[in-house]
Amino acid sequence: MAVRMADGPAAGLTEEIHRLKREKNAVILAHNYQRPEVQELADVLGDSLALARAAAKTDADVIVFCGVHFMAETAAMLNPEKTVLLPDLEAGCSLADSITADQLRAWKAEHPGAVVVAYVNTSAEVKAESDYCCTSSNAIEVVRSIPEDREILFLPDMFLGAYVQRVTGRRNMHIWMGECHVHAGIQPSQVKTVLREHPRAELLVHPECGCSTSSVYLAAEGVLPADRTKILSTGGMLKHASSSEAEEFIVATETGILYQMQKRNPGKRFVAANPDAICPFMKRITLDKVRDALRENRYVITVPEDIASRARLAIERMVAIG
């Protein structure tokens, strides 16, 4: 995958965005699943945890969040004095939509005293009902930080929850049955097929994937190559791809990350476990929408303070751990 600099109208659009950024003292944060041209534009590119940390530390007056709605909400709660813009209000998340605050309150009532660990892919209202947030890169550390005698409610991703439970051995951990429709669509059978086609490749699996738990099991059983099967966050995948001596990788996550992997490692080969694993929400943000967000101050993401004040503690715990 060759990396090309923007030219023609795209170059003019990029120049306008940079000018607006300077005028408004803005920073652009972008997730690893964004379109290549948006990744190229970002001041900070990363996974959910890296972007949350960047949002907490920035001295910019305006944060343009090229991601999905819950990410912009998180940035807004960490920076109540700053303006947080989401270039497209329709950039949602099927996983975040899989649990509501009312559902969580009902679940908590069934398990009084349990510690609630919410994946960052949740709404502000759900975070406000939680004790800890986590991302795929620090979920294991968050769970391990909780005393072993405390019951845990882990939500909303069942694949990440099952993976964390297997690694930590926590028997008193209950898991919400939610999923990301894109990651859930990456199945073990697809992984096996691609591995047969690329027998020397390393397998990099995001823990949200429908194949994550089975990959850990199959690697332990010798069906998958244990020394070449890695369960990693998107940020972890990028780091591993650069440090590994392997020359070929099968990547089981949303395909947007392949652009950055190839850019950073031009001599290596990256193959999608499922080429159709494309998040339509992440792809809604375009250069035109980033320009319009800066030019017209749209769309401003805010969270009511009564919700934000309760959610902020869980988010800050997430940022501090792992």
Cβ(30)–Cβ(39) below 8 Å? yes
Same domain flag for 311 and 163: yes
Same domain flag for 312 and 299: no
Query: How far apart are the C-alpha atoms of 307 and 125, rounded to whole Å?
Result: 6
Residue ranges of alpha helices (H) inside the chain are 9-24, 36-41, 48-57, 69-78, 101-110, 124-128, 139-144, 158-168, 181-184, 188-197, 212-220, 234-243, 257-264, 287-296, 305-320
Same domain flag for 223 and 169: no
Same domain flag for 158 and 192: no
3-state secondary structure of 102: helix
**Residue 215 in marked binding region:** no
Q: What is the pLDDT of residues 102-134, one digit of tens each?
A: 999 999 999 999 999 999 899 999 999 999 999
Q: Can you give the CATH number for the domain in which 48 is found?
A: 3.40.50.10800
Residue 3 domain-assigned? no
Residue 1 domain-assigned? no
Same domain flag for 311 and 169: yes
Same domain flag for 107 and 252: no
**Residue 134 in marked binding region:** no
pLDDT band at 207 (very low <50, low <70, confident <90, very high): confident
pLDDT band at 221 (very low <50, low <70, confident <90, very high): low
Same domain flag for 85 and 101: no
**Residue 174 in marked binding region:** no
**Residue 180 in marked binding region:** yes
Supply φ then ψ for residue 269, to 5 degrees.
-115, 135
Q: What is the pLDDT of residues 34-49, one digit of tens each?
A: 999 999 999 999 988 7
Residue 258 domain-assigned? yes
Give 87 or 231, the one with higher predicted confidence.
87
**Residue 18 in marked binding region:** no
Same domain flag for 25 and 171: no
Q: Which of 96, 59, 52 is nearest to 78 (CA)?
A: 52
Q: How many domains does the chain have?
A: 3
Q: What is the pLDDT of residues 51-103, one digit of tens each?
A: 888 988 999 999 999 999 999 999 999 889 999 999 999 999 999 999 999 99
- Residue 202 CA neighbour count, 13 Å, CB half: 20
Residue 46 domain-assigned? yes
pLDDT band at 228 (very low <50, low <70, confident <90, very high): confident
Query: How far apart are the C-alpha atoms of 52 and 78, rounded to whole Å?
Result: 8
Residue 4 domain-assigned? no
Report CA torsion sign: 95, 67, 78, 318.
positive
* pLDDT at 1 (0 to 100): 42
**Residue 135 in marked binding region:** no
* pLDDT at 218 (0 to 100): 67
Q: Which of 246, 139, 250, 262 is nearest to 188 (CA)?
A: 250
Q: What is the pLDDT of residues 182-196, one digit of tens each?
A: 888 888 888 889 989
Q: State the average pLDDT over residues 308-315.
A: 93
**Residue 211 in marked binding region:** no
Pair of tokens at residue 116: 């609630």
Q: Is the pLDDT of residue 275 over 80?
A: yes
* pLDDT at 290 (0 to 100): 98
Residue 114 domain-assigned? yes
Residue 272 CA, distance from chain mean position: 17
Residue 2 domain-assigned? no
Highest mean pLDDT: which of 52-56, 204-208, 220-224, 268-272? 268-272
Cβ(74)–Cβ(50) below 8 Å? no
- List, as one string, the DSSP characters of 184-245: HT--HHHHHHHHHHSTT-EEEE-TTSTTHHHHHHHHHTTSS-GGGEEE--HHHHHHHHHH--
Same domain flag for 81 and 102: no
* Pairing mode, strands 62-66 and 83-85: parallel
Same domain flag for 116 and 175: yes
Same domain flag for 13 and 49: yes
Same domain flag for 115 and 252: no
Residue 68 domain-assigned? yes
User: What pTM was computed for the model?
Assistant: 0.87
Residue 290 belongs to what domain range? 9-91+282-303
**Residue 206 in marked binding region:** yes
Q: Which of 83, 178, 74, 88 is nearest to 128 (CA)?
A: 74
**Residue 115 in marked binding region:** no
**Residue 189 in marked binding region:** no
**Residue 181 in marked binding region:** no
**Residue 66 in marked binding region:** no
CA geometry: angle 50, 53, 58, nearest 5 deg:
120
**Residue 69 in marked binding region:** no
